Structure 1
């Protein structure tokens, strides 16, 4: 499996992510976000509040990072955020669970879609057989006082 496809497959394993933006004062801000959709080309969609701090951050600097983590899988993307009022896309993505944040439903004026266009990504996948192989390598390296070799199947940097 090529690294680009592997990265996109890993993205689809996550339902939440941390969206990292640069604040008005230059600070770095990270916020948990529900992943609305992962497209086949790796673009991510989120739904947010139009008047939120993250949207204010994006007005000054649209470059973002998105990170995802489980106990054995890790993904990091960097790219550009694009706010969108695409009603057809919102209709496609809408989840009744979002009524917690948008009680008026998908017709709420406060809903804004965020499309993240990734420029590069990295992953570390130590799940399944790959994880077992890594644990064996790490154990051997530990006993020998060395660092374990990285495995291109488990770790890669990908240009999108």
Structure 2
């Protein structure tokens, strides 16, 4: 697998509106939940979700803050691994509030149970078979089928990317 560019990963991430947030429950089992992306921070790829403090994922994140966020639309896929924190800042909630959130929080942005989940990804991996990359993959897939091999991909289609504090290509951990 090739190492891709941070810019490519962030470009793909910006296209998503929904994700699956994977947390670890108390007995070690993994739980995935659909979540609406509230915001993706420019440049860092940090992700924000709204949640209720009564939700089981809040306790799971407090006990096991390492999470995975997976995203898929059509021919694009993204997986982010990182650390989640629960943010109760009323100022940040005010900043990120949108009227669409009223569907889940009918009491509005002042709901005392409303909180944010902030995910700071350390590493990401993407698969992008849209447009020209998809055509290249189709050609490679046909070649692989005919020859009995595996299709070749390049960093425009599939790559791993170190992010905030994740491992760098030389084995060191990058600073945030």
Report the TM-score range of the alignment, normalised by the length of the smaller protein: over 0.9
The size of the alignment, in residue pairs, is 159
Superposition pairs of residues 30-49 of structure 1, within 5 angstroms: 30-40=32-42, 41-49=44-52
8 Å contact 2:62–2:85 — kept in the other structure?
Answer: no
What is the TM-score of this pair, normalised by structure 2?
A: 0.87
Structure 2 counterpart of 1:3, from 2, 5, 9: 5
What is the TM-score of this pair, normalised by structure 1?
A: 0.96
Deviation of 1:93 after TM superposition, in Å, equals 1.3
2:29 aligns to what? 27
Deviation of 1:88 after TM superposition, in Å, equals 2.1
Deviation of 1:150 after TM superposition, in Å, equals 2.0
1:17 aligns to what? 19
5+ long unaligned stretches in structure 2 = 164-176
2:169 aligns to what? none
Secondary structure at the counterpart of residue 88 of structure 1: helix
Secondary structure at the counterpart of residue 156 of structure 1: strand
Secondary structure at the counterpart of residue 78 of structure 1: strand
5+ long unaligned stretches in structure 1 = none
8 Å contact 2:67–2:81 — kept in the other structure?
Answer: yes
